[in-house]
Amino acid sequence: MRDGGRVSAAIEVLTEIETRHFPAKMALKRWGEAARYAGSKDRAFVSGLLLDALRRKRSLGWMMGDASPRGVMLGVLAFVWSWSPERIAEAAAEEHGFGPLTDAERERLSDPVSLVGAPAPVAGDYPDWLEKHLARALGADQAAEMRALSERAPVDLRVNTLKTDAERAAKALAPIHAVPAGILPNAFRIPAPAAADRTPSVEAVPAFSKGWFEVQDLGSQIAAAVAGEVRGKQVLDFCAGGGGKTLALAAAMGNSGQIFAHDADARRLADTIRRGQRAGVRNLQIRSPIEATPLKGLEGKIDVVFVDAPCTGAGTWRRHPDAKWRLSPDQLAKRQIEQDSVLEDASTFVKAGGRMVYVTCSLLAEENEDRVAAFLERHPEFTVKPIALNGVTHVTPEGYLRLTPYRAGTDGFFAAVLERSSYTP
């Protein structure tokens, strides 16, 4: 495919997302199935262009004076990918291009509308209704944080210490240009690719199939690390999902003690089993909801209950930019109800002297501090255990972990450690 056809395809996919409300992943899959002629480079180009458009569609639409999929896509090419107006015009006029540029488009490509004075949700690329929530959570850093959330994200890797160490892993990862990510000794990072480029294939590295490392955002790795000392402990990952944090906890345990993985969706646990085997985890028990009482017998006996709660994912918009446009006030309210319920259920398994770790990948205080405060009001037997982790400085005055793209260079994460003083069946 030539550039004009690729851009046309990205406009088509974005149009389908906006008119039919498909998630980006589904819309790209539908296009790929219909465009059998598209090669891997074509698909990477279209996907990269589409996601960059979704990251910044309000600000780019403002700059172009045209918020249509075509207008936004032209904005990406000019102001994110740094194409010249001449190159854009050439691609537009190709046989399978997206049609000749109008005089207005040519003018905006050369002289865009300034973002100075634009409303904060336009300049920051998010829905209007989120303004009060983001302002509350991010304060003076709100504009900088929203710009950071509109950038491409790096690919972070966690070295699996059950199979290797950081020094050996560094040599294995050198061909894909992974470097130490900082903060944690076993975290590596592949920088975000340039426009139209693809991230090197992590799965193609032979050490990956050996279980030497896992793809996991640095923020997620830090959130798992705040669980503290877990060697020899009884650990329950209450919302294990695909198992990313389960495996991080298992590695920290060094195959000592016992880790139980549970999730409300049995299908998600299938990945945990497969990934655990590849990682060499030998102390893992899967507790599937297919069973009538999968966690029976664990009440009041667990040292560390890890709760990676269902949330809006408002900290992951760099990777999933379409999610911010699909989020609604009703969905935020629903997530808060689910979070309260999950905390109630999970707390029953924490033993006296044990701790519960509450984690979300959200920036919003309504899903984070507010949920912890509401839980503590209902459960005076729990108190906040301030987070203290070597190298981690992103701790709030209340003792909670708060990671953000601008401040920490990670996805947005929140974590609170709650310690139980007594247990009454």
Binding residues: 263, 308
Q: 304: Cβ–Cβ under 8 A, 6 or more apart, which residues?
A: 227, 228, 230, 233, 234, 235, 236, 249, 354, 355, 356, 357
Structure tokens at 93: 């006029």
Q: Which long-range contacts (CB under 8 A, 24 or more apart) does 88-95 make?
A: 90/3, 90/4, 91/2, 91/3, 91/4, 91/7, 92/4, 92/7, 93/4, 94/2, 94/3, 94/4, 94/5, 95/2, 95/4
Longest dimension (CA), the chain: 74
Amino acid at 97: G
Cβ–Cβ < 8 Å for 206, 176: no
Alpha carbons 399 and 35: distance in angstroms, whole number: 51
The residue among 234, 238, 215, 216 whose CA lies nearest residue 225 is 216
Tokens 């009001």 -> residue? 377
The answer to whether 361 is a known catalytic residue is yes
Structure tokens at 163: 């199979």
Beta strands in 238-367 (DSSP E): 258-262, 284-287, 302-308, 350-360
Alpha carbons 379 and 377: distance in angstroms, whole number: 6
Alpha carbons 253 and 247: distance in angstroms, whole number: 10
Alpha carbons 11 and 201: distance in angstroms, whole number: 26
Cβ–Cβ < 8 Å for 425, 299: yes
Q: How far is CA 371 from the centre of its chain?
A: 20
Alpha carbons 384 and 419: distance in angstroms, whole number: 6
- HSE of 116, CA atoms in CB hemisphere, 13 A: 1
Residue set of the binding site for S-adenosyl-L-methionine? 263, 308
Q: What's the angle, vertex CA 260, arms to CA 258 and CA 262, rounded to 5?
A: 175
Q: 190: Cβ–Cβ under 8 A, 6 or more apart, which residues?
A: 154, 155, 156, 157, 176, 177, 178, 199, 200, 202
Catalytic: which of 146, 248, 298, 361? Answer: 361
Supply the residues annotated as catalytic.
361
